[in-house]
Each structure stands twice: as C-alpha cells, then as structure tokens.
Structure 1
Amino acid sequence: MTTELTVATWNIMWANGSSARGRRVRNILREVDADLLIVTEGQRDLLPEGGHIVDAGSDWGYDITKSPERRKTMLWSRKPLTDVTTVPSGAGAGRVLVAHTDTPLGQVRVLAVCIPWASAHVSTGRRDASNWSEHLECCDHIEVLTAGFDPRIPTIVAGDFNQRLPRVRQPIRVHERLLEVLDRWTPHTAGDVRYGPLIDHIASDLSCINLRTWSGTDDVGRLSDHSGVTCTLVRRDS
C-alpha cells in the first residue's frame, strides 16, 4: 500500500471567520482534508481545528493595525511543527517560513511562501519599491534560506508564488530568477490545469500522483481572486 501525503495551498484574499465568505472558505479548507495546508492572505480563524499552526510574522511592510489577525503566510499541520525559521527583515519578512514536521512519508521540510506581487510597495505600503523589486528580493531571501537544506529531508515548497508557470506575461528575468531559486524542486502545479493557470503552487522533490484544483468562485459568489490546489505526494521510490 502506497503511503501518501496531501498538501494544499490557497490565497484566501483576507477572508475572516466572521463573514459569510469566510465561513464558506473555512468549509472548503476543512473539506480539503490536507495533512499540510499553506494559506496566504488569511487569518487563523479560517484554519481547520485540531492542527498545529505557525506563521511568517505580522510585519510585511503594510499597516495591519485595523486587522491585527491578518497574516501573509500561515502553515497548518496535523503534527507539531519544529525548527521554525522566518525572515527577520526585507522583502521576505512576514512572507516566508521554514518548518519541519512528521508526516505519513516521514519527516519533511516545508517552505511556505507568499512572494510579493509585481507592484508590492510601489504605490502602496512603504512606496519605496519599483515593479518586481520586492519579488526579486524575496527570491534572494529564499535562496539564502534554502542553501543550507539537508537534501536527505524531502522539501515541499508551497504558497503564492505570484507567477504563472510556465511564463505568461511576467518579465523573462523575473521568471528565470524564480526558476533558478526553485531549481531543486519540481513544480507539480505548472501548466494546463483546471481553473488555471495558477499562481498558487506546490513544488517538491517528491512525486505527485494526483492534483486537484478548485475555483475562487462558488454557487454563492466570489471566494477569492485565486484558485486553490491540492497535491497528493509520494516518495519517488514508492
């Protein structure tokens, strides 16, 4: 019998549990029934009960005093999360985290991300950036974090990459930089998928045996400006 690991990710567009939209989003996150869940632009009251949660921090350069529970990047796990590392400053702050956990496949490392979009801090936030500069700086932070990864521990990279894969309209240099940083891992969510092309992705050095996406709109209306995705992963020697 093949041992499997279910990983899901979704940018939920700042939904919160007190709203009708948030309650619908929460139901979907629960029904996904993932072992690992990476949620971006959300808050903890949307995550399933009974798991373990870490986040990348509360400071990504935007004022959240009116909504202090908001987080750019959160990781939910069925099992406890250890060795948690975040980026203390710069474009990766509040957006990037690394943690280890036990899974049906054994110990894995999770790199959870919400890489800045093209215009981050250009006309909003700090207003001190140029187009794609925050995205590229965050890629630099990810490269530094991953340089010391022990290759014997499987790695899952998931979250909002803010790039379509393969390239659609983003500058070639930006696209190539992301591919360079993530070169060790296979992007399971790239290409022609239902409700795609995606910018929320899952990549790993495991094998994906099943992929499912869901729309950002349900029968009632809009849930998010992103589609969600879940992957079933197995070890490559399975």
Structure 2
Amino acid sequence: MEKTRLTVATWNTMWATASSSRGERIRRLLSEVDADLLVVTEGQRDLLPDGRHVVDAGTDWGYDTSAHPLRRKTLLWSRWPLSDPTTLSTGAGAGRVLTAVADSPLGPVRVLAVCIPWASAHVTTGRRDATNWSEHLECCDQIEKLAARFDPQIPTIVAGDFNQRIPRRRQPIRVFERLLDVMDRWTLYTGGEVEHGPLIDHIASDLPCTGLRTWAGTDETGKLSDHAGVVCTLYVAE
C-alpha cells in the first residue's frame, strides 16, 4: 500500500506587511516551507506564496479594520483548487473560522482554518461586551457545530491559532478541557514539548502524521512574530 504525503503549515504573522523588512522575511520563509496547505493568521494575502488558491474568513471579526483593509484574521492557501468554502458570519467565529475542500491528487481533503479568539478578545477593546475567555469558548462551540456536519468520508485537517498552549499552562482548566473536547475527533500533533514550543499555533487531523518541524518567531535580523510556526507531514494510504 503506497503512502502519499502532503504537508500543512500554519503561522500567525502578527499583521506584517509585505513591503516591510519583517514582511519580506516572513514571505520568504513561508515560501521556503513549501507547504501544500498553508494557514496564516493575522496576515495578508501578499505575504503568501505566489499563485495557487486562496480563501479567507472575511473582514469582520468585530474590530474596526478600516485603516487596514488588507488584514485578515484567517487565510487558507492551497497548492490545489479549493471548493465548498464556508465561513461564519455571526458570533465569535465570524472572520476567524473557515473551511474548504482541497482537490488534492490524493482525493478531497477538508481544511478547517481557525484563529480562535484570545482570552481578552472584546473585553477592553473592540466591542467591549465580552468577559475573559467568553469569545474563545463561543468560538469553540461554533467549531464543534461546524465539524459535526463534515462528511466523514473526507479527511480533515485543522490548522491555525488556537490561542491555548497544550499541555495547559495558565488558562483555566474549564477552557483547556473545552478545547480538548472540541478537538477530540482528531489527533493533535503539535502539543507537548516540541522545539520552539509549547505552541499556540496547532495542527490536528484524522490523517496520520509522519513528521513535524517548527521554526522560531525570530531570525538573525530580529523579531518576525510573537508565535512560532509549525509544519506537519501527513499521509494518505492509497
């Protein structure tokens, strides 16, 4: 039985612009990762590798973005055509969660790309109508409902900014356990002690993983991001 591999990577690029020195270095690194599927959070399309196929989660995540119209909380880049793009238009996942099916040579593969809100989202900024972790938990609920409708015959990859370290560090136990419960249908490959970890950018899937690599949020020039990036090699048995 032949094992056919694909690579998936994710990184939060901390609103870098492609015209800046930091953005140029991020763009070069993202290209060098040479992923088949790439989820970028807090990013812009012009940071992504040239060509191919891109969808994003939308422009409204509850903050005023008029001064930065190119920013997106969640972007999905694919080497292969994307179909059935779905985003959330209401609730905490609006502008942050998307799903699409990549028409890969291995067959269809669904990608769930996420930027789950951080602990203080919309508490003292944005709408200012939330409490600590309330947006995060609501987004987890929405992801669970979305995933319940997925076709089980199509493999799923979840990637993006989970805004929780795994294993748990300082987040409340109830919040940590809720995230694990939502992700329980997949295997999380990026938890535990990994280089440049513990991570908050994660990859999970029902496809087996044969390799994992991370990179730091800094290079020889200086800071790139306040997150480390990660790439996983997954395979589909033919």
TM-score bracket, shorter-length normalisation: over 0.9
Alignment correspondent of 1:199:
200
Q: TM-score, normalised by structure 1?
A: 0.98
- In the TM superposition, what is the alpha-carbon distance from 1:106 to its structure 2 partner? 1.7
Separation (CA, whole Å) in 2 of partners of 1:104 and 1:36: 13
Report if the CA contact (8 A) 1:214-1:227 is conserved. yes
Q: Which amino acid aligns with 2:196?
A: Y
Unaligned ranges ≥5, structure 2: none
Separation (CA, whole Å) in 1 of partners of 2:58 and 2:122: 18
- In the TM superposition, what is the alpha-carbon distance from 1:63 to its structure 2 partner? 0.7
Separation (CA, whole Å) in 2 of partners of 1:95 and 1:8: 17
Deviations 1:208-231 (A, max 9, x none): 101000000000000000000000
- In the TM superposition, what is the alpha-carbon distance from 1:105 to its structure 2 partner? 2.7
Deviating beyond 6 angstroms after TM superposition, the runs of 4 or more aligned structure 1 residues are: none
Task: Answer yes or no: is 1:19 the counterpart of 2:20.
Answer: yes
- In the TM superposition, what is the alpha-carbon distance from 1:2 to its structure 2 partner? 2.9
Separation (CA, whole Å) in 1 of partners of 2:9 and 2:133: 26
Work out the number of aligned pairs and report it.
Answer: 237
- In the TM superposition, what is the alpha-carbon distance from 1:104 to its structure 2 partner? 3.9
- In the TM superposition, what is the alpha-carbon distance from 1:103 to its structure 2 partner? 2.0
Q: Which amino acid aligns with 2:23?
A: G
Distance 1:165 1:203, change over 3 A: same
Unaligned ranges ≥5, structure 1: none
Alignment correspondent of 1:36:
37
Q: Which amino acid aligns with 1:15?
A: A
Report if the CA contact (8 A) 2:83-2:103 is conserved. no
Alignment correspondent of 2:221:
220
Q: Which amino acid aligns with 1:24?
A: R
Separation (CA, whole Å) in 1 of partners of 2:107 and 2:176: 32
Separation (CA, whole Å) in 2 of partners of 1:165 and 1:203: 12
Separation (CA, whole Å) in 2 of partners of 1:233 and 1:22: 28
Separation (CA, whole Å) in 2 of partners of 1:152 and 1:170: 34
Alignment correspondent of 2:5:
4
Q: Which amino acid aligns with 2:21?
A: A
Report if the CA contact (8 A) 2:87-2:97 is conserved. yes
Report if the CA contact (8 A) 2:83-2:102 is conserved. yes
Separation (CA, whole Å) in 1 of partners of 2:112 and 2:197: 22
Task: Answer yes or no: is 1:112 the counterpart of 2:113.
Answer: yes
- In the TM superposition, what is the alpha-carbon distance from 1:146 to its structure 2 partner? 0.7
Alignment correspondent of 1:163:
164
Report if the CA contact (8 A) 2:123-2:132 is conserved. yes
Separation (CA, whole Å) in 2 of partners of 1:151 and 1:2: 20
Map 1:1-238 to 2 at 5 A: 2-235=3-236, 237=237
- In the TM superposition, what is the alpha-carbon distance from 1:102 to its structure 2 partner? 1.8
Separation (CA, whole Å) in 1 of partners of 2:71 and 2:134: 23
Report if the CA contact (8 A) 1:10-1:229 is conserved. yes
Q: Which amino acid aligns with 1:30?
A: S
Q: Which amino acid aligns with 2:34?
A: D
Separation (CA, whole Å) in 2 of partners of 1:2 and 1:24: 33
Q: Which amino acid aligns with 1:21?
A: R
Q: TM-score, normalised by structure 2?
A: 0.98
Report if the CA contact (8 A) 1:115-1:160 is conserved. yes
Q: Which amino acid aligns with 1:89?
A: T
Partner of 2:163: helix, strand, or coil? coil
